[in-house]
Amino acid sequence: MTSPLLAIRDLTIDYAGHVQAVRKANLEIRLGEAVGLVGESGSGKSTLASAIPGLLPASARIQGDIAFKDKSVAGNQSALRGDEIAMVFQDPMTSFNPVLTIGEQLVDFQSRIAGSAKEKYRRAIAMLGRVGIPDAAMRAESYPHELSGGMRQRAAIAAALLVNPSLLIADEPTTALDVTMEAQIIHLFRELRRDYGGGILIVTHHLGVVAELCDRVYVMYRGDVVEEGPVDDIFHKPRHPYTRALLACDPARIPERTDYLPVISDAERATFTRASWR
């Protein structure tokens, strides 16, 4: 078996020495693999994902190791950001400068790539078309606020793919979208999953996205990675009680109409310890 593209070992992250957001986390991604990272809000999944390209705030303290292509990069991820590692954020509006056109910004994203501005602009238009934006040349001249939420998210994905990264991280890529746009973005990621040769990490609380796109999935609870395995095993044979409770809260698993959605009780949470499943 080839060595992983990304290997996180015993990663612990705390803020100002008080709030421990991630504890002893381990995670691996291989080339050509799509990996899901799931958990409820506050579980630490976005903190873990942001640590990979080095996007944590200055108050964050990191212990453990992050290895990329067999080389430890902890503390030096900025050298890889934009070339080897690219990230798509939850809110596409915050990914772009509101006073520059989409085309201008996509050219700027290619600052480390050789070529003239005209060549980069042509590549930007081609990539906008590749991610499914109609009239790409016209949209390249638009400002971010002139695009719909779905189009902005597609443009953000185009910006990430323009640098041809080895690892693409998508942090809640469908959360800010309506159901129709969400389905379109999932379809786009499915196509990228087929055509894109690098590794993909999809951070989400949407279990349907994981089922549609991922090979393996990591489950986080209160900063711990409590379970990991192939998607089919996690969905059909979950071992950890938190994973089972999380799956039970999925509305898609409710067979009949009900006035109440299932929730995870405090009594159940008391059982969510590492010792309860190991």
Q: What is the pLDDT of residues 202-231, one digit of tens each?
A: 999 888 889 888 999 999 998 999 999 999
Averaged pLDDT for residues 226-252 = 90
What is the domain class of 9-84+168-278 according to CATH? alpha beta
pLDDT over 70 for what percent of the chain?
96
Backbone angles phi, psi at 120, to 5 degrees: -65, -35
- Phi then psi dihedrals of residue 61, to 5 deg: -115, 130
Q: How far is CA 147 from CA 140, 142, 150, 154, in A?
A: 10, 7, 8, 10
Q: How confident is the model at residue 1 (pLDDT cuts 50, 70, 90)?
A: low
Task: Retrieve residue 93's tokens.
Answer: 């509006």
Q: Domain ranges for the chain, please list them.
A: 9-84+168-278, 91-164
pLDDT band at 94 (very low <50, low <70, confident <90, very high): confident
Predicted local confidence at residue 193, as pLDDT: 75
Q: Write the pLDDT tens digit of every residue in 147-199.
A: 988 889 889 989 988 888 899 999 988 776 677 777 777 888 888 777 778 89
Q: Distances in Å between the alpha carbon of 2 and those of 59, 66, 201, 218? A: 36, 17, 18, 20
Provide the sign of the torsion angle of the four alpha carbons 71, 76, 79, 80, taken in this order: positive
pLDDT at position 176, please?
67
More confidently predicted of 172 and 107 = 107
User: 4-18, 48-62, 110-124, 164-178: which range is least confident on average?
Assistant: 164-178
Report the 10 Å Cβ neighbour count for 246.
Answer: 23
CA 219, CA 178: separation in Å to the nearest integer? Answer: 25
pTM above 0.85, yes or no: yes
DSSP element (H, E) containing 21: strand 19-29
User: pLDDT-based confidence at 103, cuts 50/70/90?
Assistant: very high
More confidently predicted of 229 and 113: 229
Confidence bin at 252 (pLDDT 50/70/90): confident
